[in-house]
């Protein structure tokens, strides 16, 4: 039994950032198929905001955080791919990574290559595996070819900056949107072929202009409510809209016939957790991500670090669109 007193963020009820409290917890031994990990860094993601606010309801009281990196302390029965002492990282349910240590299912926990530090590991799993399944598996009819145009909203965010780099490595023409000129410049530096400041430019008109009127084959849209319908107007006939997030709010119900009228369009609403449902799938995707990072083609942009006790401030900054790239919580000293 781990006798050490641990600290973790908990919510008793959904609410604003202040709903997150740093409390003492005890962390037991891992059960069958589980692992206990001592975090060296914890990733911050927009899904943590959906959990905290109740947009994605959780059984209460609940932990927050789906991404982390650290050292394995103990493994439960049946876990063969990890051992005590291994450096490891994960994106995994259930929420609870905002903590000094925790027990969680081992299925989505992978060994972290020596060359990747803990902060990078904590920042890259949920966001990098998301880009992996988007650009490699969430594709239009016939797939994507060198030189194809795709539109990626919020391109200067955590997922966004990884997507810009990965798309460049695949020789795709990624058009990135972002909410300020500074963010647009950052997306360009990271590999976007073009950017659009959607706070002041009409992104539909601009996409049409950039693609010679043709439109893009795919829109990767994590903004949701504010962009959904106009994203459809950026697509070629038979194009694909992947709505993978709702940072501005959920997409309201819409008339399916609209997809016919706009050119026999496809719409999907994917989540990473379907893609990493098995240990084998998680490892395959993680290997691809690690190879992209090891080759230098994708650099994980850890821009902000917060103490675990400052999780509320980290959420305020994320929701106020103040952040670019990835942010992590550092549990040492909590």
Ligand X SMILES: NC(=O)c1ccc[n+]([C@@H]2O[C@H](COP(=O)([O-])OP(=O)(O)OC[C@H]3O[C@@H](n4cnc5c(N)ncnc54)[C@H](OP(=O)(O)O)[C@@H]3O)[C@@H](O)[C@H]2O)c1
Residues 6+ apart with CB under 8 A from 325: 156, 157, 158, 161, 186, 301, 302, 303, 304
Neighbours of 87 (CB within 10 A): 18
11 or 103: CB nearest ligand X: 11
Min dist. Cβ of residue 128 to ligand X (A): 10
75 or 300: CB nearest ligand X: 300
Residue ranges in 60-154 assigned as alpha helix (H) = 118-137
Site for ligand X, rule CB under 6 A:
45-47, 126-127, 130, 154, 156-160, 178-179, 183, 222-223, 226, 244-248, 270-272, 318-319, 321, 323
Min dist. Cβ of residue 138 to ligand X (A): 10
Gap between the Cα atoms of 203 and 230, Å rounded: 8
Neighbours of 179 (CB within 10 A): 17
DSSP-derived 3-state class of residue 295 = coil
101 or 167: CB nearest ligand X: 167
173 or 247: CB nearest ligand X: 247
DSSP-derived 3-state class of residue 243 = strand
Min dist. Cβ of residue 312 to ligand X (A): 16
72 or 218: CB nearest ligand X: 218
Which residue's CB atom is positioned nearest to ligand X? 157
For residue 30, report the phi and psi dihedrals to the nearest 5 degrees: -70, 140
Min dist. Cβ of residue 169 to ligand X (A): 19
92 or 222: CB nearest ligand X: 222
Neighbours of 308 (CB within 10 A): 22
Min dist. Cβ of residue 3 to ligand X (A): 35
CA dihedral 276, 278, 283, 286 (to 10 degrees): 0
Min dist. Cβ of residue 137 to ligand X (A): 11
| Token pair listed for 161 | 């900056």
């Amino acid at each position: 039994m781990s006798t050490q007193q641990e600290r973790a963020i908990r919510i008793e009820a959904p609410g604003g950032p202040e709903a997150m409290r740093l409390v003492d917890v005890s962390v037991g031994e891992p059960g069958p198929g589980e692992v206990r990990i001592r975090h060296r860094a914890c990733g911050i993601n927009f899904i943590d905001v959906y959990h905290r606010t109740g947009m994605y309801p959780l059984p209460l009281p609940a932990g927050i955080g789906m991404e982390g990196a650290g050292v394995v302390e103990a493994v439960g029965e049946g876990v063969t791919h990890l051992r005590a002492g291994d450096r490891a990282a994960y994106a995994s349910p259930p929420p609870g990574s905002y903590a000094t240590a925790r027990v969680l299912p081992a299925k989505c926990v992978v060994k972290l290559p020596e060359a990747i530090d803990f902060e990078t590991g904590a920042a890259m799993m949920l966001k990098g595996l998301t880009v992996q399944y988007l650009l490699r598996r969430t594709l239009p009819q016939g797939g994507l070819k060198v030189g194809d145009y795709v539109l990626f909203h919020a391109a200067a965010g955590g997922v966004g900056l990884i997507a810009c780099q990965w798309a460049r490595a695949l020789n795709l023409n990624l058009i990135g949107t972002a909410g300020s000129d500074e963010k647009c410049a950052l997306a360009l530096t990271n590999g976007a072929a073009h950017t659009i400041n959607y706070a002041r430019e009409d992104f539909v008109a601009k996409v049409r202009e950039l693609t010679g009127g043709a439109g893009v084959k795919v829109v990767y849209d994590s903004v949701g409510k504010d962009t959904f319908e106009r994203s459809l107007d950026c697509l070629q006939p038979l194009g694909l809209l992947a709505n993978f997030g709702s940072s501005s709010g959920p997409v309201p119900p819409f008339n399916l016939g609209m997809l016919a009228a706009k050119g026999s369009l496809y719409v999907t609403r994917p989540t990473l957790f379907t893609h990493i449902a098995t240990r084998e799938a998680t490892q395959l995707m993680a290997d691809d991500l690690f190879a992209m990072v090891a080759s230098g083609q994708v650099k994980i942009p850890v821009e902000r670090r917060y103490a675990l006790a400052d999780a509320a401030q980290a959420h305020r900054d994320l929701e106020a669109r103040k952040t670019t790239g990835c942010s992590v919580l550092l549990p040492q000293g909590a």
